[in-house]
């Protein structure tokens, strides 16, 4: 297997080629730690693109709290007896390149033999302890912005099924899922935002509901304002909805009130299990235009998808309109 391209970094006090059992990394004074770990199975066929998507997915948890990725370590499971080591190299290189793009240092990792490919990162980020966004940060009157379209679960299901147009679908998944949520991460401390979350396995509806419950508030979600990946609605209507998405919808149903005018396919997509989705930002109304301008200038979406309201047990925690 060819050597991986890893750039030297002064933050790393141990070398990549020294076979150490752990890494020693300099840490900046006055900062707090953000720590997360995530890994997943392939949602696209190209190994390098999968590595990029899996890395971006792991890094997103740091951005969602307003932190900056600082160091990362690989987590990889690979069927070494069945597949070429070059596939493994391309997955790892995708992850390394995405970590470099984030500004973090790749500090090492761990691998195991497994019958199924899995890849992700353990990420350590830095954060100002006075500028942290959490699920508990919703305030009544806040407006919700979403930075990426939804529907990755549906498209990845269609790709695995070999559905017509799967190459174009893989292009769309790579474009959005490998995109870092770095602008939203910087916007949180810049505007002093208190509420944010990244959209992953529980779907847009599930993650917003987590925020509403943690904040003892309710959210009204405008279904016609939620951005969708191309063909997502079409494919969902053909049954390309993964089982996890249906599980999300069922689990949340007792806390959701859906208007009769909202069709079933739209609700399915709102609960579609996402991989490396966007970030939902809870923004005070007076800062809404500034937040949208910052996101749009960086090339992100800035979809205004809903607002935070007071909780009323008769109307549900999440109200889909």
CATH number for the domain spanning 297: value is 3.90.650.10
Is 19 inside a domain boundary? no
109 with 142, same domain: the answer is no
171 with 106, same domain: the answer is no
186 with 292, same domain: the answer is yes
Predicted local confidence at residue 126, as pLDDT:
97
Q: At what angle do helices 152-160 and 166-177 cross, to 10 degrees?
A: 140
Is 21 inside a domain boundary? no
116 with 213, same domain: the answer is no
The reported pTM is 0.93
160 with 120, same domain: the answer is no
214 with 295, same domain: the answer is yes
Residue 44 near residue 153, CB atoms below 8 Å: no
Is 289 inside a domain boundary? yes
Q: Where are the beta strands (DSSP E) in the chain?
A: 32-40, 68-78, 105-113, 118-127, 143-146, 195-198, 218-221, 256-258, 279-283, 303-309, 318-320
Last residue of a domain, one of 127, 143, 158: 127
Last residue of a domain, one of 110, 127, 144: 127
Please provide residue 257's backbone torsions phi and psi, each rounded to the nearest 5 degrees.
-115, 120
266 with 139, same domain: the answer is yes
CA distances from 72 to 2, 105, 115, 248, 298 (A): 21, 6, 25, 30, 24
Q: Which two tokens stand for residue 303?
A: 């979809």
Predicted local confidence at residue 10, as pLDDT:
75
284 with 147, same domain: the answer is yes
176 with 285, same domain: the answer is yes
> Among residues 263, 262, 255, which one has the least CA distance to residue 314?
255
Q: Which two tokens stand for residue 232?
A: 């997502």
- Mean pLDDT by 10-residue block, N- to C-terminus, for the chain (321 residues)? 69 66 81 95 96 98 97 97 96 98 95 97 96 97 98 96 93 98 98 98 98 98 98 96 94 95 97 98 98 97 98 93 97
Predicted local confidence at residue 19, as pLDDT:
60
CATH number for the domain that contains residue 96: 3.30.1330.10
Is 247 inside a domain boundary? yes
> Among residues 313, 151, 308, which one has the least CA distance to residue 240?
151
Q: Where are the beta strands (DSSP E) in 222-272?
A: 256-258
164 with 257, same domain: the answer is yes
Is 150 inside a domain boundary? yes
83 with 152, same domain: the answer is no
Is 204 inside a domain boundary? yes
Cα distance between residue 159 and residue 181, in whole Å: 24
Looking at the structure of the chain, the number of domains it has is 2
88 with 206, same domain: the answer is no
Is 25 inside a domain boundary? no
| Domain around 110 | 32-127
Is 14 inside a domain boundary? no
Cα distance between residue 149 and residue 223, in whole Å: 12
């Amino acid at each position: 297997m060819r050597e991986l391209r890893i750039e030297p970094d002064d933050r790393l006090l141990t070398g990549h080629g020294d076979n150490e059992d752990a890494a020693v990394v300099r840490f900046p004074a006055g900062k707090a730690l953000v720590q997360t770990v995530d890994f997943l199975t392939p949602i696209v066929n190209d190994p390098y693109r999968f590595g990029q998507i899996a890395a971006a997915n792991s890094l997103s948890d740091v951005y969602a709290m307003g932190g900056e990725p600082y160091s990362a370590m690989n987590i990889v499971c690979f069927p070494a007896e069945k597949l070429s080591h070059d596939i493994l190299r391309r997955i790892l290189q995708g992850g390394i390149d995405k970590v470099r793009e984030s500004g973090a240092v790749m500090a090492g990792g761990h691998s195991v033999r497994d019958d199924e490919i899995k890849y992700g990162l353990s990420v350590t980020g830095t954060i100002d302890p006075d500028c942290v966004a959490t699920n508990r940060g919703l305030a009544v009157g806040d407006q919700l912005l979403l930075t990426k379209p939804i529907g990755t679960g549906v498209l990845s299901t269609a790709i695995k099924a070999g559905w017509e147009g799967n190459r174009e679908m893989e292009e769309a998944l790579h474009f959005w899922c490998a995109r870092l949520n770095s602008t939203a991460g910087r916007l949180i401390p810049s505007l002093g935002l208190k509420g944010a979350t990244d959209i992953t396995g529980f779907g847009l509806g599930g993650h917003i509901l987590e925020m509403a419950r943690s904040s003892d508030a309710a959210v009204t979600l405008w279904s016609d304002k939620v951005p969708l990946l191309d063909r997502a609605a079409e494919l969902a209507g053909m049954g390309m909805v993964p089982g996890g998405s249906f599980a999300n919808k069922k689990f949340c149903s007792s806390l959701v009130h859906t208007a009769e005018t909202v069709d079933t396919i739209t609700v399915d997509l709102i609960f579609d299990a996402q991989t490396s989705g966007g970030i939902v930002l809870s923004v005070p109304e007076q800062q809404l235009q500034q937040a949208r301008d910052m996101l749009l200038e960086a090339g992100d979406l800035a979809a205004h998808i809903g607002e935070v309201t007071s909780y009323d047990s008769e109307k549900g925690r999440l109200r889909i309109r």
